[in-house]
Amino acid sequence: MPRPRLSDEERARRLRERQRRRRAAHATDALAATRVNNTERRRSARILANEARLAEARALAIAEHRLLRSRPTLRRSLGLARDLTYRPHLHSLGDMNQTCSSCVALHFCDEKRTPSHTSYNMCCNLGKVSLQPFRNFPTLLRHLLADNDRMSQNFRGSVRNYNSGLAMASMIAHVDTPIGGGPYCYRIHGQVYHRVGALRPPTGTAPQYAQIMIMDTEQAAAELAGRSVNRGCNTSLFADLHRLLLRVNPYAQSFIMMDEVLRAEEQSAIAHGLSPKPVHMVFGQQAGDDLRRYNPATANEVAVIYVGNEDDIPGERRLVIRDRGGSLRTVSHLYKQCDPLTYPLLFPTGEDGWHPRMEKHSSTDRGRTRVTQKNFYLTICSFLARAPLIHFFMLGSCSNSTLLTAG
């Protein structure tokens, strides 16, 4: 059966309907595509925003953490492993009013071995070590340590600078000062060396160590005070200390004596048209050495001066000072001259430092008969009732390097 024929009007209506549906489908597809694009853009924007917030929060956290770490807290400064809320039980040694019957050093009450003991092991090894440190301590140094005038305060505040400037031997070490806000700590790494130079410095070189001793006092004081490391030191005080050492220190006097012998040899050589002979000074000459084999020789209580070649010096040559030369010679810590040469303000009158042949005072000890380094420096550092100011200021300021370099 044939289809009924559509009228033109019906055909036009159907065409319009198909076009409308087609346009509607296109609009739906476009809307869907727009929604997809908008969703991707929003997602990307959210991701970027989240990353920015996280980066900002991370930066703030890092900055806060660095700030907290940079602040010196009590626990970090003192190196405490425990929490600060932990409080240990109080431990008291009593008053520091117990005097050792052997060396007069002060001790705490609970340091007694038994209630009946009046001598102590931490100072003089129960009376077996008999030393008299600071026995003839100069009046000038006593005043500088005890008085409260400006000069004394300057000396106590820069005592290590004054000692280093007037030292006749050097202490060479790598000093590693810890950073932070903790208590003072003197720390060194590696080997420690003590060295001494020739009597006269090389041409064009600033004088150092014992070369300062042979200078005119005013020139020496100006030289030392003019160094940048000594900018806080007083020139007139350097001069007073220089004059003091020349007057009471046998080692300073030895260098002066060597300089006089060298000048005399130079003048004699010029007068006779000859080259001057080398001059050497020997510290620690053995008593058994035959000094008559080598003439002429000039000597005092700590040194012997020879004119001639070093190889011709008789006996054991422990520490030899040349008249010239840029090289430094090592001073062994086993030499008794090491401490007084390195720390002249601790040993101003040239008292012997520790050496392996130092004998104990008591002969009843069946064990060790020699004084150990520990015994020696414990005695030196004991809080002496007769010289507390000397101990407190001098050993408190200078002994960090003294004790760390003692063996």
Q: pLDDT tens-digit profile of 176-185?
A: 777 766 666 7
Contact 273, 287 (CB under 8 A): no
- Contacts with 183 (C-beta within 8 Å, 6 or more apart), sequence order: 77, 78
pLDDT at position 86 over 70: no
pLDDT at position 399 over 80: no
pLDDT at position 285 over 70: no
Lowest mean pLDDT among 184-188, 219-223, 287-291, 384-388: 287-291
pLDDT at position 84 over 60: no
pLDDT at position 314 over 50: yes
Q: What is the pLDDT of residues 350-374, one digit of tens each?
A: 888 888 888 877 655 566 688 888 8
pTM given for the model: 0.69
Residues in a beta bridge with 280: 306, 322
Measured CA to CA, the distance from residue 93 to residue 106 in angstroms comes to 13
Q: What is the pLDDT of residue 292?
A: 39
**How confident is the prediction for the chain on average, in pLDDT?**
78
Q: If 0-12 CB within 10 Å is exposed, 13-18 middle and 19+ buried, where does residue 231 land?
A: exposed
Q: What is the pLDDT of residue 296?
A: 43
pLDDT at position 407 over 50: no
Q: What is the pLDDT of residue 289?
A: 43
Q: What is the pLDDT of residue 242?
A: 95
And the tokens for 322?
């040349």
Q: What is the pLDDT of residue 166?
A: 92
Q: What is the pLDDT of residue 137?
A: 83
Closest CA to 371 of 130, 197, 208, 44: 130
Using pLDDT thresholds of 50, 70 and 90, give the confidence band for residue 66: confident
Comparing 228 with 285, which gets the higher pLDDT? Answer: 228
Q: What is the pLDDT of residues 99-140, one digit of tens each?
A: 888 887 888 877 777 777 777 877 888 778 877 767 778 889
Q: What is the pLDDT of residue 24?
A: 76
Q: Is the dihedral of CA 294, 297, 299, 304 positive or negative?
A: negative
Using pLDDT thresholds of 50, 70 and 90, give the confidence band for residue 244: very high
pLDDT at position 295 over 50: no
Q: What is the pLDDT of residues 267-276, one digit of tens each?
A: 888 888 888 8
Q: What is the pLDDT of residue 216?
A: 92
Measured CA to CA, the distance from residue 235 to residue 321 in angstroms comes to 28
SS3 state of residue 37? helix
Q: What is the pLDDT of residue 200?
A: 85
Using pLDDT thresholds of 50, 70 and 90, give the confidence band for residue 384: low
